[in-house]
Chain A
Amino acid sequence: MTLMAFASFEIWIMVIGALVCSACGILGCFLILKKLALMGDAISHAVLPGIVVAVMLSGSLNSIAIFVGAGIIGVLTPILVDSLKSSRLIDEDAAIGSVFTFLFAIGVIMVANAGNIDLDTECVLYGEIATTPFDTWVVGGTPYEFDGHTFMKGGTDIGPKSAWTLGIVLLINILFIFFFYKELKISTFDPALALSMGLKPKLIHYLLMFFVAITTIASFEAVGAIIVVAMFIAPGASAYLLTDRLSLMIFLSGIVGAASSVLGYMLALALGGDVSIAGCMAVAAGGIFAMCFFFSPKYGVVVRFARRYKLKKRFHAENALVNMYRTHELGERCLVKNYRHNVIVRFIQQNILTEKDGELHLTEFGTEKAQNLMRAHRLWEAYIHKLGLPEDHVHQPADEMEHYLTNDLCTEIAQELKNPQSDPHGKPIPTKPAL
């Protein structure tokens, strides 16, 4: 009985995608916070010579050798960047840019010259996630030769190899962040303090880059280099918009990564044909980021607009109410035609107004509400007048503040001013309504 019978290859594709996206996403949080988003890009290119050397030395696409080669380059890249940067002749971004293009170019030349290396560029760039579920691991079987290849007879199929590799990489990343959480946090936020405490921020930085390189390599086969770069940035950037706690940001980036995989696969199914599944996952990650950008409960553009719109609407209604109150105060008639239709309708619904023969009357509830606003307005006028603002300057600020002052604050101001009866213009300040 094989696992494939339980889980269709489609589920495996989503699982493998989710493993890649989460593994990249959680490390990406630190790249983003260190303002090193470019470093993921750099390392994913720079590992090429590491892979080539590993393949040449080991004579095969043996994964352990490749991991070692990539890991070395992963640490070498930031070290080269640092030494270029500390020469003070070029800036960090220029240093990153020149180091990785240099290493990548060396890799390309090596591939071209070592003709016997079987590196499929298409595969390196775009990955072949659709075929990964079929390359499964079988344990306990007996090997047999057929047509020059080794196959397994019998044994148990324990699922796709890449699911295992990526699962282990994700686990390692999680453990790394878990055990070095405090060190990662302080090295990212305040490396100088970390250094003065002896918490070696450089070492932590190189460790982080090492894991970035390992993750990149593990993801290559499944999703390819280009999409790995997207996955180092998009989930973390989305999570950054959703929370202001580091631990939650890391957790959410993992979730966003997994969601990108599932949504991306669905998108690929919907588009059908020859569309790149990994590409669709990157698009989904970008889509999630856009959603967070527009709808994030804290920082989202839409939420900001909605909040501002709601506030404006409230101001509008309250201004109308104050106006009606003033009209009554002056003993004038409050006419329907002077107010916007929707305001009147809403006020009547809210039992603030009654309407009779084209004239508006405040209900008891409406009067109380209006008095509260009026009281806030005139108290504020009196207060800032006392602070030294001339009489003809106090109306405008009070017009704004009347919407914000709470009952408690009004009471406090009234006490401070020894319960004034009228505002600087001589208009009566309504007393606090009996509750």
Chain B
Amino acid sequence: MGRESKKVDEETVADVHDLTVSYHIHPVLWDVDFQVPRGKLMAIVGPNGAGKSTLIKAMLGIIPSTTGWVKIFNEPYQKVRHRIGYVPQRGSVDWDFPTTAIDVVTMGRYGKIGWFRRPGKKDREISYTYLEKVGMQDFAQRQISQLSGGQQQRVFLARALAQEADIYFMDEPFAGVDVVTEKAIVNLLFELREQSKTVIVVHHDLQTVNEYFDWILLLNMRKIAIGNVDDTFNEENLRKTYGGKLAILSKAANAMTKGRVDGIID
């Protein structure tokens, strides 16, 4: 990709520049570089361990990156936090936590509320509206461990909606939900797109990519390809993403780790 085409214009909402991320000394993402245009529904696709969750976390500053930078709405993410919504992988929280569905949704408001202040009546109303939007209003007062997996996923989605953001990052929002719930969630995503919001979704089901998304990032430790689904989501790119050709990168990472550890020991 030529440097000229990297020109950041009005319509680029997320700009990831040569991002490398390591856990401890083991690199998991190498020189990832891409832009996301406004108003796209973008899938991030790649095998387990490809670094999809890692990419999202690094973009949101949840984990540090080794090199490179990320800009969202042309600013470092710290400056635009209130415009970002995030749905973590469902397994990342303790569902036995003593709290209710509506309370979890209200947490989506915390960023907007800011330090020390408490969620007010307005925040509760907004949260309830979004709980209704995902069809969970009857479960508002339920303790969250007493919800099914799909219901928990809906609550997470409602929480992200309550963030009232301009760009959303969702890590496997369809994991463990039934077809009806999946369709309901997709319709909500379409709605967001109509409001020209950008939604980035880690997605595992290759069958539905064409139907749900208009933009796609294929990822496996590095960027394989990015672009509109019609052109980019093809057999060759899929082979590159899921095929075994990445052995070299993995070996390189291991060699690097080993080299550094040996270096420390020596």
Contact = CB atoms under 8 A, between A and B. Distances in A.
A197 B84 CA distance: 8
A246 interface: yes
A244 B57 CA distance: 30
A180 B111 CA distance: 14
A198 B84 CA distance: 11
Given A190-B93, A197-B110, A88 B24 contact: yes
Interface string A5-36: 00000000000000000000000000001010
B62 interface: yes
A246 B98 contact: yes
B111 A199 contact: yes
B60 interface: yes
Interface stretch (B112-120, B173-181, B219-227): B112-120
Interface string B103-136: 0100100110101111100000000000000000
A114 to B, nearest CB: 36
A179 interface: yes
A403 to B, nearest CB: 22
Contacts of A193: 86, 88, 107
A185 B86 contact: no
B111 A33 contact: no
A266 interface: no
Nearest to A298: B143
Nearest to A86: B24
B99 interface: yes
A215 interface: no
Contacts of A188: 97
A338 interface: no
A185 B115 contact: no
A87 B24 contact: yes
| Listed residue (A181, A195, A197, A199) with the most chain B CB atoms within 10 angstroms of its CB | A197
B228 to A, nearest CB: 28
Interface in B68-109: 78, 81, 84, 86, 88, 92-94, 97-100, 104, 107
B88 A249 contact: no
A192 interface: yes
Interface residues of B, number: 29
| Listed residue (A188, A189, A248) with the most chain B CB atoms within 10 angstroms of its CB | A189
Interface string B37-63: 000000000000000000001001110
Given A240-B98, A245-B99, A246-B98, A197 B111 contact: yes
Given A181-B118, A196-B84, A198-B78, A189 B99 contact: yes
Contacts of B84: 196
A197 B104 CA distance: 15
B107 A186 contact: yes
Nearest to A195: B62
Given A189-B97, A192-B57, A197 B92 contact: no
A182 interface: yes
13 contacts: A33-B98, A87-B24, A180-B116, A185-B107, A189-B104, A192-B92, A194-B110, A196-B84, A196-B111, A199-B115, A240-B98, A243-B98, A244-B100
Given A188-B97, A192-B88, A244-B143, 15 more contacts: A88-B24, A182-B117, A182-B119, A190-B92, A192-B86, A195-B61, A196-B60, A196-B61, A196-B81, A196-B84, A197-B81, A240-B98, A244-B98, A244-B99, A246-B98
